[in-house]
Chain A
Amino acid sequence: MATLAACSSSGDAPDNDSDDIVRSQVTTSENDLIKRYDATIAAFPTLAAKLTPIRDQHSEHLSAVGGDSAPADLKGVVIPQTAEAAVKELVVAEREAARERRSASVQASGTELVWDLALIAASESQHVAVLTNGAP
């Protein structure tokens, strides 16, 4: 986030700047998702086997957009009372993320960023399918 205004002197700065904004938005969203998975796994350890691979895929998304991991502060993350309700909230979050990533891919200019965002969007749609046991 701190690098947003740092590269305005090069010729194609407008694209770079707008791609930096896209990257920072994706970074925030992926960090939120990781935090939500960590809090859910902490509250319901029986979900760990199912949720940990997905959580780790979000870490890979974060790295791909060059985002820094936010400090793992799970305070303030409210997790539902039951495992079933907690998974439902993750489904809602993944569906939202998949839609946001699709929009972000349209905003992005750099070929590599568009490619990464298209695949991240597909990955997050897969998460919805995994969490709902295959039902779209």
Chain B
Amino acid sequence: MSDAAIENLTQALNGEYAATYAYGVIGARTSGADQARARRALESHRQLRDELRIDLAALQAPVPPPAPAYETGQIDSPAQAKTLAIGVEQRLVRNWAAVATTSADASRERAVRNAQECGTRAISWGAASQAFPG
């Protein structure tokens, strides 16, 4: 497995750490259907985070721990929380597309599926579609 593959998996892991942190903040600043959406998204990103940790460990690559905190900007309102969610998901589309370029077969298919799901979640938070998301 190439250094580039490990680098891309590590960046995706950092993106998923940032996402799980952000969704904690987003959940605290939203209510009702949005809060439920944030909870579902948090669950999805935790799972992706865990899979990436397993992938890196299987490659005998370093598995970085999460940072104590991630930059989210000031999040006081539901609107700010939604903007944060959109940003998190759009960055992850790029992270997963990068993983796709350095993986093959079922792993690549999974990476692209993850990019698609992050792109779809961005729409669910109110983003407009993009020709090349992220």
Chain A residue with Cβ nearest B98: A115
- Cα A105 to Cα B115 in complex, Å, equals 12
**Of B115, B117, B127, which contacts A118 at CB under 8 A?**
B115
Q: How far is the CB of A91 from the nearest CB of chain B, in Å?
A: 13
Q: Do A134 and B133 touch across chains, with their CB atoms under 8 A apart?
A: no
Q: How far is the CB of B27 from the nearest CB of chain A, in Å?
A: 18
**Which secondary structure characterizes the binding site on chain A?**
helix
**Which secondary structure characterizes the binding site on chain B?**
helix
**Of A102, A111, A128, A130, which contacts B101 at CB under 8 A?**
A111
- Cα A58 to Cα B132 in complex, Å, equals 10
- Chain B contributes a number of interface residues (CB within 8 A of A) equal to 31
Q: Do A119 and B97 touch across chains, with their CB atoms under 8 A apart?
A: yes
- Cα A103 to Cα B116 in complex, Å, equals 13
**Of B96, B104, B120, B130, which contacts A57 at CB under 8 A?**
B130
Query: In the complex, which range does the number of interface residues on chain A fall in?
Result: 20 to 34
Check if B119 is an interface residue, CB within 8 A of chain A: yes
Q: Do A105 and B129 touch across chains, with their CB atoms under 8 A apart?
A: no
Chain A residue with Cβ nearest B130: A123
B132: chain A residues at CB < 8 Å are: 60, 64, 116, 119-120, 123
- Cα A101 to Cα B133 in complex, Å, equals 14
A126: chain B residues at CB < 8 Å are: 119-120, 122-123, 127, 129-130, 133
A111: chain B residues at CB < 8 Å are: 101
Check if B108 is an interface residue, CB within 8 A of chain A: yes
Q: Do A122 and B100 touch across chains, with their CB atoms under 8 A apart?
A: no
Interface residues of A (CB under 8 A from B): 53-54, 56-58, 60-61, 64, 98, 101-103, 105-106, 111, 114-123, 125-130, 134, 136
